[in-house]
């Protein structure tokens, strides 16, 4: 009797693993990971028509990258100004050199804000956009129509998004760095928080170009996480418009969590 119960339970477990229904905790996440890897494998196939693929690639660069420049510049400018003010008023003391505020502002902008924090912000804007777009196409059966016509829907819809965001993410990082420094100078010239000469000395002190490359490398990984995870959440939607909203929320939350985990790993690896 015990042996029969064991095999019945094992059969139910394997059936759930195969059909993707309710599963226990570890196997549920393993199933999601397997579906994600299978979807990414479909994305790296050779495009059927390079002209259509390139057209879609340029469109995604415009939609995901160029349209995000405005919010990147706005946030970076004020964050650079706020960091400079905080360093000057709360950190610097008579025992420290006067260029400390500029030095710490540069290090914070290069090491964390322009790559990690900015990508967390873009995960909310870009990630929800990707998930809602693909989710709407799924529930309106547009993706099913592409599959019926013999088109690799994953390669046609997802690959241009991933490549487009990865292509423009280094540009967004550089824009964020430069704009943050301009915000710091705005506090020096307009707010008279510190002398511009002291800020310039701090920005130039012990500058390491590797920090710029490290920020760019991290942003490339984060761009892949945002685009691929958000695409997976939208592509695998089942149901109606309510599930599309849930997929958008799930895309933002999962992308942000993975970015934080990857940030810890990459910082230890590249430093």
pLDDT bin (cut points 50, 70, 90) of residue 22 is: very low
My answer on whether 6 and 64 are in the same domain is no
pLDDT digits (tens, 9 = 90+) for 199-220: 888 888 888 888 889 999 999 9
pLDDT for residue 21: 46
The mean pLDDT of 2-18, rounded to a whole number, is: 51
Domain closes at, from 43, 59, 77: 43
Least confident range of 8-22, 123-137, 164-178 = 8-22
pLDDT tens-digit map of 76-116 = 999 888 888 888 777 766 777 778 888 888 888 888 888 88
pLDDT at 19: 47
Asked whether residue 188 carries a pLDDT value surpassing 90, the answer given is: no
Q: Same structural domain for residues 199 and 223? A: yes
Cα distance between residue 116 and residue 259, in whole Å: 7
Q: Please give the share of the chain, as a percent, with pLDDT higher than 70.
A: 89
Q: Looking at the structure, tell me whether residues 14 and 78 fall in a common domain.
A: no
Q: Count of domains in the chain?
A: 2
Q: Are residues 214 and 254 in the same domain?
A: yes
Indicate whether 237 pLDDT > 60. Answer: yes
10 lies in which domain range?
Answer: 1-43
> What is the predicted pLDDT for the residue at 227?
92
DSSP string, 88-105: IIII--TTS-TTHHHHHH
Radius of gyration of the chain (CA): 23
Q: How far is CA 21 from CA 13, 14, 18, 41, 250, in A?
A: 10, 10, 8, 23, 19
Indicate if 244 and 128 belong to the same structural domain: yes
Q: What percent of the chain has pLDDT over 90?
A: 20
Start-to-end CA span in the chain (Å): 59
pLDDT above 70 for 131: yes
Q: What is the pTM of this model?
A: 0.84
The Cβ of residue 94 has, within 10 Å, a number of other Cβ atoms equal to 5
133 and 2 co-located in one domain = no
Enter the tokens of residue 191.
């707010």
Same domain, 25 and 132: no
Mean pLDDT confidence for 62-66: 88
Q: Is the pLDDT of residue 7 over 90?
A: no
Residues 133 and 148 in one domain: yes
pLDDT of residue 12: 57
Which residues have a Cβ under 8 Å from the Cβ of 232 and sit 6 or more positions away?
35, 36, 39
**3, 77: one domain:** no
Lowest mean pLDDT among 2-11, 91-100, 163-172: 2-11
Residue appearing with tokens 């100078």: 185
Residue 18 has pLDDT above 60, yes or no: no
**Contacts (Cβ under 8 Å, ≥6 apart) of 55:** none
Residue 139 has pLDDT above 50, yes or no: yes
Q: Mark whether 15 and 105 lie in a shared domain.
A: no
Indicate if the pLDDT at residue 8 is higher than 60.
no
The mean of the pLDDT values for the chain is: 83
pLDDT for the residue 189: 84
pLDDT in tens, 28-61: 777 788 888 888 888 888 887 888 888 989 998 9
DSSP one-letter code for 47: P
Q: What does the pLDDT read at residue 228?
A: 92
- Residue 151 has what pLDDT? 82
Q: Are residues 122 and 32 in the same domain?
A: no
8-state DSSP, 22: S
In terms of domains, do 22 and 139 share one?
A: no
């Amino acid at each position: 009797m015990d042996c029969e119960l064991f095999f019945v339970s094992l059969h139910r477990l394997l059936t759930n693993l195969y059909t993707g229904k309710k599963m226990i905790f570890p196997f549920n996440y393993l199933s999601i990971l397997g579906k994600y890897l299978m979807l990414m494998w479909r994305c790296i196939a050779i495009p059927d028509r390079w002209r259509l693929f390139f057209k879609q690639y340029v469109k995604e660069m415009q939609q995901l990258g160029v349209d995000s420049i405005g919010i990147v510049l706005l946030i970076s400018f004020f964050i650079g100004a706020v960091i400079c003010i905080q360093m000057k008023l709360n950190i610097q003391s008579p025992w420290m050199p006067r260029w400390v505020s500029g030095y710490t502002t540069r290090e914070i902008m290069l090491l964390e804000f322009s790559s990690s924090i900015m990508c967390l912000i873009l995960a909310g804007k870009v990630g929800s956009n990707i998930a809602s777009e693909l989710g709407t196409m799924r529930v309106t059966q547009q993706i099913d129509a592409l599959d019926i016509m013999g088109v690799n829907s994953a390669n046609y819809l997802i690959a241009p998004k991933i490549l487009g965001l990865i292509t423009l993410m280094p540009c967004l990082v550089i824009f964020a760095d430069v704009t943050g420094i301009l915000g710091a100078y705005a506090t020096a010239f307009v707010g008279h928080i510190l002398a511009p000469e002291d800020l310039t000395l701090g920005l130039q002190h012990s500058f390491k170009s590797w920090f710029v490359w490290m920020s760019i490398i991290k942003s490339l990984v984060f761009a892949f996480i945002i685009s691929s995870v958000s695409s997976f959440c939208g592509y695998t939607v089942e149901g109606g418009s309510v599930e599309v909203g849930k997929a958008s929320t799930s895309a933002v939350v999962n992308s942000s969590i993975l970015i934080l985990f990857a940030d810890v790993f990459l910082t230890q690896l590249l430093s």
